[in-house]
Every structure is written in structure tokens, then in C-alpha cells.
């Protein structure tokens, strides 16, 4: 494949990947070089590693296992409000951590709705605190993403395949074996690796819901090394460990996810004739209702808590909201400039290294990246003056892995389908990109841009390092309100953040969908 002529050149994508990798590794190196000799990794660090791996594996397995039936139900059912539901399901993923924790506790906490109901029924209370609580929260965050990634796989199956299957009168089982399983075998590993990588860097969720220091993750160990011991060497080592783990998971996923696509179709809306039995209908309905309840109840709690305070928010909050919107826009533009060429490079066979550098953004601890960039920038300039571009850039890089997961499969398929035709028509390069690739990737570009904008809006990220007096984002101001005892106002600000994040996600994701299907 590598030797064949390709409709797009990988040069741009390879440069973008090199840039991303250089930035992250330079930040890590800056921290490591600034280190004085400290103690190496101790037993407590290995315990942290063990807990981190356990919770990340469990969270990834459970999220993806639940996502499969949900994605299947969403793929084969058409009902009123379906697309709204799919969009709403994305909301937990883009919530700021602390807000999500408080929302989850409203439902699952000691005095939450479930325990109140149990108490009313005379049943013993259930505790959310412990490993199961950590996994529950991670599934809450990541089930929607896993579902969207797998649903995308379903939607990449051309409608003609299902027609043929129906004409051949294939049973549900046969259809699963011949059409759906090969698709899942391609889609699952990357969904698993993505969720695993996200959970690997979890800290506040794991600690607050884990019930104590047993739930120490590597990210917390980095925090301790940095703040409690000021041992930069250990912080850099732990961060490198985190990156190595993510890279390994990513490489494994890439290896497993190889395989041919489904070939071209006529882009007709998918119609299916299977799954019409009562049992199948019941199962799908159950999947959809239960997942919707699980994901939407905590959101409802957040909306309920914030609504009363939304309109009485001080003016500075709205100013911070404007700053956040600006950061989100810049960040989304940077993301697309990086992700699209990289996706094209991967699609034309320059896979592994480019993919790998795309994953780095997930693995790198924000604390280490922030510190590293600070060390690099300070001798040259006042870091506070660079708050906006640095925040936007780091946010874009951390959204990059998701964007690639979303863009790569379809880019690869489009290149495989239309590449030869384009070459024979002598329209390789820019014309192919503008007239074939980008228009056909519109839904994926919209989804990726929406996700990036929303994540950037809600992410506290590296802002803590660079925030000057005049540059405060909405998440930062929300934390500040909480730090000043103003929990009610913080709930209002959190709701505003949710509305903005979700609004950005909705608008971009919606804008990308060019026919009625998601």
C-alpha cells in the first residue's frame, strides 16, 4: 500500500504530528531537565500505578460493553427525539469534572435520589464511594463517547449491505456475524483504548469517589511529587510512565483495529428489516431508556441546581464566558488544522507514528505540560501574556485523540473508495481534498469540531498556570466561586458552562450532518 500513488500527500499531516509530539516531549523534557536529584519511584507510586490500571481497564471494558447494545439499539431504531437524545448523550463527556461529580452525587450520593427512594421503601442505602463509584463515574463520562464511536461504525456500513442481507433472508445472528461483528472488531479496540487513556489521567473523580487514599492514581502521585515534595524528576518520570501506558494501549488498539472497510455505497439512508421481534424491540427499548436515565438524571440535577442562580450571576461571569468562547473558537480552529492533515496522512498509509503522536495529547498530564510550557516560555516572555494561545493550543492537543478517532475511519474509507478514481481523473491533491474528501467528511468534521469546542470550553486545563489578572475562563471563575463559599452561584455558573459547551457541540455537530442521519 505504501508504494502506491495516493490522492493526497502525507507531508502536511506528518509535520502536524511532529509538531504535536515535539511540543509535548519538549514540555516533559523541560520539567525533567529542571529537576534536582530526588528519590525515584517508590512503593506508593507502584500502588498508584496498580490502582490506575485497574480502574482504567474496568472503566474501559464496562463503558464499551454497555455502548455496544446501546449503539446497536440507536442504529436500528427510529423514534421521535432520537437525534436530540444522541446529542444529549454527549453532554456528560463535556462537563467539568467537579460539576459532574456533584451531579452524580445528587443521584447516587448518600442523600441522593436513589438512596432517598431506597430509604422510603425501607431498604438499606447503597454507597457510591469505592472502586465501583470511580468506575460508575467514568462510565458516566465515557459511555456516551464510546457509544458515538461505535455508532459511527454502524453508520459506515452502506445501506446496500443490509438490503442484500434482507434479500438473502439472513437471520439476526447471521447478520451480526457477517456484517456487524467485523465492524465491531474494527471499532471496539479504538473505543476501548480511548476510554482507557482518558481514565488513566483521572484524578479528582478517582479521589473523591474512591473514598480515600486507596484510590490514588498516577496523576495524584504527579501532583504530590510536584507540590508536596517538589520533586520534578519524579513528576517527569511518572508522567513518562503515563505516556508509555497510553501509547502501548494505543498501539495495541491500532494493531487490532486493522482490517478492510465495507466498500462504497450510494449513501442511501440505512433501512433494516431485522430486529422486528418483540424480544429485540424490548431489549433495544430497555437499553435506550436505561442509558438515557443513567446519563440524563445527573444532568437534570445540575440543571435543577443551577437554574435559580443563572440569571443573577455577576457580570464578571459573563465576561469569563466570552473569554471561554474565544478560547473554544481558537482551539477548534487549531484542532482542525492539526487533525485533518493528520487523518489524511494516516489514511494514506503513514499510520502508526502519526497516530501515536495524536494519542500523546491524552496521556500527558496537564500539570506537567503546564509546568513545562511555563519553564520554556518564561525566559523569553511573560507567560501570562500567552494565556489565550497556550490554553487554546493545549486544549486542541488534548482533543486531538478524539478528533482522530472520529475522522480516521471515514477518511480511510473515502481515500480507498475514491482515491483511484481521483487519480485517474488527475485531480489528486487540493482538488481531491476540497471537492471529495472534505464534503464527504462533513459529519465527522462537525462532530470532531463540536467535541473540541465543548471540551475546550469546559476544561480547566493549563489555565491555572497562565491566568493573568485579566484572563479568566468560565471554568476558572466557577472554581473561584466555589472557593469563596458561593456554591449556589457556582452552580449557576456551571449551568451556564454546560449550556455553552453543549450549545457549541450541538451547533457544530448539527452543522456537520448533511442528511437526516446522525
Q: Applying CB under 8 A, which residues contact another protein?
A: 34, 44, 47, 98, 101-102, 105-106, 109-111, 129, 203-204, 207-214, 220, 223-224, 226-228, 230, 314, 316, 371, 374-375, 378-379, 382, 384, 464, 467-469, 477, 479-487, 490
Query: How far from chain centre, in Å, is Cα 114?
Result: 28
Cell of 465: 498556570
Nearer of residues 64 and 467 to another protein, judged by Cβ: 467
Task: Pick between residue 105 and residue 253 the one whose CB is nearest to another protein.
Answer: 105
Q: Which is nearer to another protein, 101 or 339 (CB)?
A: 101
Nearer to another protein, 132 or 480 (CB): 480
Distance CA 298, CA 104 (A): 5
- Burial level of 121, CB count in 10 A (0-12/13-18/19+)? exposed
The least CB distance from residue 399 to another protein, in Å, is: 23
Q: How far is the CB of 304 from another protein (least distance, A)?
A: 12
Q: Compute the distance between CA of residue 313 and CA of residue 477 in angstroms, rounded to an integer.
A: 11
Query: Which one, 137 or 343, has the nearer CB to another protein?
Result: 137
- Judged by beta carbon, residue 110 or residue 255, the one nearer another protein is 110
Q: What is the DSSP letter of 180?
A: I
Greatest Cα pair distance, the chain, in angstroms, is 75
Minimum distance, C-beta of residue 135 to another protein, in the bound complex (Å):
15
Secondary element (H or E) of residue 115: helix 113-120
Query: For residue 249, what are the CA distances in angstroms to 38, 156, 253, 267, 459?
Result: 29, 24, 6, 33, 24
Nearest CB to another protein, comparing residues 237 and 400: 237
Q: How many helices (H) and strands (E) does the chain have?
A: 23, 0
User: Residue 344 Cβ, how far from another protein at the closest point, in Å?
Assistant: 39
Q: CB 217 → another protein: shortest distance, Å?
A: 11
Which residue shows C-alpha cell 489555565? 463
SS (H, E, C) 16-82: HHHHHHHHHHHHHHHHHHCCCCCCCCCHHHHHHHHHHHHHHHHHHHHHHHHHHHHHHHHHHCCCCCH
Sequence-separated (6 or more) residues with CB below 8 Å from residue 285: 73, 77
Q: Is the dihedral of CA 292, 294, 299, 300 positive or negative?
A: positive
CB closer to another protein out of 226 and 505: 226
Query: Smaller CB distance to another protein: residue 313 or 364?
Result: 313
- Interatomic CA distance for residues 317 and 477, integer angstroms: 7
- Closest to another protein by CB, 188 vs 394, is 394
Shortest distance, position 111 Cβ to another protein, whole Å: 4
CB of 23 to another protein, least distance (A): 19
Q: Is 278 exposed, middle or buried, given 0-12, 13-18 or 19+ CB atoms closer than 10 A? A: exposed
Q: CA-to-CA distance for 408 and 460, rounded, in angstroms?
A: 28
Say what the alpha-carbon torsion angle 297, 303, 308, 313 is, to the nearest 10 degrees.
Answer: 150
Choose between 207 and 449: whose C-beta lies nearer to another protein.
207
Sorted by sequence, the CB contacts under 8 Å of residue 131 that are 6+ apart come out as: 54, 55, 58, 210, 215
Least CB distance from residue 356 to another protein, whole Å? 30
CB nearer another protein, residue 174 or residue 316: 316
Residue 16 near residue 356 (C-beta atoms within 8 A):
no
Min dist. Cβ of residue 458 to another protein (A): 16
**Distance of closest approach, residue 8 Cβ to another protein, in angstroms:** 43
Q: Closest distance between another protein and the C-beta of residue 516, in Å?
A: 41
Residue with cell 508536596: 228
Give me the least distance between CB of 316 and another protein, in Å please: 5
Amino acid at each position: 500500500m505504501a508504494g502506491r500513488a495516493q490522492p493526497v500527500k502525507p507531508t502536511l499531516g506528518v509535520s502536524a504530528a511532529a509538531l504535536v509530539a515535539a511540543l509535548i516531549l519538549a514540555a516533559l523534557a523541560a520539567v525533567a531537565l529542571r529537576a534536582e536529584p530526588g528519590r525515584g519511584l517508590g512503593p506508593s507510586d507502584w500502588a498508584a500505578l496498580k490502582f490506575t490500571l485497574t480502574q482504567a481497564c474496568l472503566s474501559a471494558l464496562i463503558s464499551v460493553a454497555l455502548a455496544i447494545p446501546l449503539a446497536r439499539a440507536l442504529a436500528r431504531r427510529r423514534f421521535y427525539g432520537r437525534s436530540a437524545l444522541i446529542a444529549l448523550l454527549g453532554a456528560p463527556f463535556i462537563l467539568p469534572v467537579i460539576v459532574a461529580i456533584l451531579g452524580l452525587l445528587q443521584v447516587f450520593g448518600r442523600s441522593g435520589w436513589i438512596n432517598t427512594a431506597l430509604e422510603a421503601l425501607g431498604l438499606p442505602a447503597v454507597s457510591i464511594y469505592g472502586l465501583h463509584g470511580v468506575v460508575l463515574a467514568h462510565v458516566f463520562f465515557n459511555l456516551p463517547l464510546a457509544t458515538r464511536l461505535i455508532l459511527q461504525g454502524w453508520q459506515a456500513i452502506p445501506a446496500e449491505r443490509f438490503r442484500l442481507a434482507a434479500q438473502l433472508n439472513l437471520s439476526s445472528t447471521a447478520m451480526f456475524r457477517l456484517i456487524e461483528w467485523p465492524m465491531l472488531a474494527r471499532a471496539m479496540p479504538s473505543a476501548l483504548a480511548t476510554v482507557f487513556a482518558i481514565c488513566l489521567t483521572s484524578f479528582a473523580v478517582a479521589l473523591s469517589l474512591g473514598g480515600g487514599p486507596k484510590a490514588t492514581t498516577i496523576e495524584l502521585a504527579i501532583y504530590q511529587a510536584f507540590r508536596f515534595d517538589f520533586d520534578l524528576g519524579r513528576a517527569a518520570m511518572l508522567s513518562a510512565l503515563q505516556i508509555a501506558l497510553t501509547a502501548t494501549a494505543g498501539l495495541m488498539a491500532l494493531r487490532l483495529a486493522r482490517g478492510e472497510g465495507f466498500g462504497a455505497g450510494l449513501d442511501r439512508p440505512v433501512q433494516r428489516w431485522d430486529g422486528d421481534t418483540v424480544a429485540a424491540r424490548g431489549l433495544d427499548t430497555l437499553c435506550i431508556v436505561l442509558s438515557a436515565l443513567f446519563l440524563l438524571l445527573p444532568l437534570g440535577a445540575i440543571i435543577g441546581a443551577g437554574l435559580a442562580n443563572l440569571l443573577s450571576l455577576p457580570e464578571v461571569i459573563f465576561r469569563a464566558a466570552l473569554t471561554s468562547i474565544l478560547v473554544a473558537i481558537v482551539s477548534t480552529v487549531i484542532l482542525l488544522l492539526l487533525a485533518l492533515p493528520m487523518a489524511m496522512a494516516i489514511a494514506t498509509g503513514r499510520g502508526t507514528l502519526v497516530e501515536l503522536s495524536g494519542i500523546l495529547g491524552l496521556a500527558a498530564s496537564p500539570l506537567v505540560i503546564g509546568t513545562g510550557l511555563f519553564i520554556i516560555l518564561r525566559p523569553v516572555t511573560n507567560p501570562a501574556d500567552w494565556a489565550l494561545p497556550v490554553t487554546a493550543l493545549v486544549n486542541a492537543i488534548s482533543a486531538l485523540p478524539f478528533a482522530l478517532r472520529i475522522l480516521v475511519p471515514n477518511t480511510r474509507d473515502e481515500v480507498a473508495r475514491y482515491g483511484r478514481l481521483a487519480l485517474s481523473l488527475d485531480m489528486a491533491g487540493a482538488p481531491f481534498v476540497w471537492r471529495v474528501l472534505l464534503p464527504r467528511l462533513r459529519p465527522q468534521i462537525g462532530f470532531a469540531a463540536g467535541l473540541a469546542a465543548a471540551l475546550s470550553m469546559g476544561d480547566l486545563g493549563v489555565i491555572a498556570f497562565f491566568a493573568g489578572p485579566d484572563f479568566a475562563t468560565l471554568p476558572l471563575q466557577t472554581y473561584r466561586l466555589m472557593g469563596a463559599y458561593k456554591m449556589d452561584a457556582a452552580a449557576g455558573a456551571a449551568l451556564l458552562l454546560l449550556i455553552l459547551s453543549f450549545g457549541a457541540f450541538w451547533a457544530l455537530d448539527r452543522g456537520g450532518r448533511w442528511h437526516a442521519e446522525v
